[in-house]
Amino acid sequence: MTTTPAQRSNGSIALTLRVTRFTPRQERARKQRNPFAAQSPSSPFAQRKRQRGKQWVQEYQLNVYPQDTILDCLLAVKRDIDPTLAFRYSCGHGMCGSDAVSINGTPTLLCTATVAAWAKKDTPLHATDSSGFRQTGVSLNTSAGPSAKNDEQREIQEHTAPSAGFDGLDTSNEQDDTQHTRAEAMTVDLAPLPGFPVQRDLIADIDQMMEQIKRLKPYLQASGQLHTTQDGAVNMFEYLQSPEELQRFELLSNCIACGVCEGSCPVYAGGEAFIGPAALVINSRFINDSRDDATKERLDDISDADGIAACQSVRACSRHCPKGIDVGEEMWKLVELRPSGR
């Protein structure tokens, strides 16, 4: 995907990927020296320990097309620039949920986010202005107003205005790469999914989320009582449902456990205090399934202090669900179903 300067006249643009990287420190024989770590393997804090290591921000420059996904960009970096960059993906089509990260501070999926939607005009970390001073991420727009003294200043100001999107971007740039200043590049900031411990670079440790989902038994619990057809015959092979019954949980069954809702949730980010919206959405999916007979147990399971009671109805979880689930609304429905007095 990396292009030659000539290809840039075909609509490609210069993009700076600003990636928050992390390399875990080698595990040493610390356990013998720390009596608490050795004594409490079942402690929730032991399960969610944060890795120690080195964290830094690294910039990669590449030429991309607006329709490329951010995942395409990372694959190009991995292939052509830096094979040590770590990120996770699988299906590449918004189906598996394995590639949730923070893009420009917003939790979302790498494979469905396009350059056109997420690249922003911004000053790269170490770009210099026309006088040679290094910029530190503050847009020149804040210091040079409409009265910018000369055309050169105005040009830099235009290319570093903090507005997102490609409106007004001249993609017919035919300059040689060496003439193309870094201040002109569009920028995308990448960081691991918030609220989760980091394993390496953009890879978040989602074990705890998966454990929480498993804890709520994410499978059909039916009584084995097979339904009958309209003429009274027993249907031996399936539990019958009306379209209306299917509609009650169909959207919820699309949840791919990506963790985007959890990365958006300020309560989940606080640690073990909340079982999290992903587990609750999947719990709600079975509560709303007419074939499932474990509604009472499922409601009991989320009535502990870390269950639905911990939800503060911030509703940030609803904003970026890639499957269009109104997660906050589902949380509220569970609050209403919760046995009274708990």
- Is residue 92 involved in binding ligand FES (CB under 6 A)? yes
Q: Provide the β-strand partners of residue 18.
A: 59, 189
- Is residue 275 involved in binding ligand SF4 (CB under 6 A)? no
Among 1, 81, 86, 95, binds ligand FES (CB under 6 A): 95
Query: Structure tokens of 28?
Result: 């040493």
216-219: list long-range contacts, CB under 8 Å, 24+ apart. 216/275, 216/279, 216/280, 216/282, 216/283, 216/298, 216/301, 216/302, 217/286, 217/294, 217/298, 217/301, 218/282, 218/283, 218/285, 218/286, 219/286
- Is residue 258 involved in binding ligand SF4 (CB under 6 A)? yes
Nearest-5° angle of CA 76, CA 82, CA 86?
A: 85
The entry of ligand SF4, ligand FES, none that residue 255 binds, CB within 5 to 8 Å by partner kind? ligand SF4
* Smallest separation, CB 285 to ligand SF4 (Å): 10
- Is residue 98 involved in binding ligand FES (CB under 6 A)? yes
Q: Which of 200, 232, 216 has its CA nearest to residue 283?
A: 216
Nearer Cβ to ligand SF4, position 158 or 306? Answer: 306
| 188 touches 17 (CB < 8 A) | yes
Scanning residues 287 to 326, which ones bind ligand SF4 (CB under 6 A)?
Answer: 321-323, 325
* Smallest separation, CB 256 to ligand FES (Å): 6
* Smallest separation, CB 171 to ligand FES (Å): 26
127-135: list long-range contacts, CB under 8 Å, 24+ apart. 127/181, 127/182, 127/183, 127/185, 128/183, 129/156, 129/183, 130/156, 135/160, 135/183
Nearer Cβ to ligand FES, position 97 or 124? Answer: 97
- Is residue 109 involved in binding ligand FES (CB under 6 A)? yes
* Smallest separation, CB 66 to ligand SF4 (Å): 25
- Is residue 97 involved in binding ligand FES (CB under 6 A)? yes
- Is residue 280 involved in binding ligand SF4 (CB under 6 A)? no
Can you give the binding site for ligand SF4, defined by CB under 6 A? 97, 255-261, 277-278, 281, 321-323, 325, 327
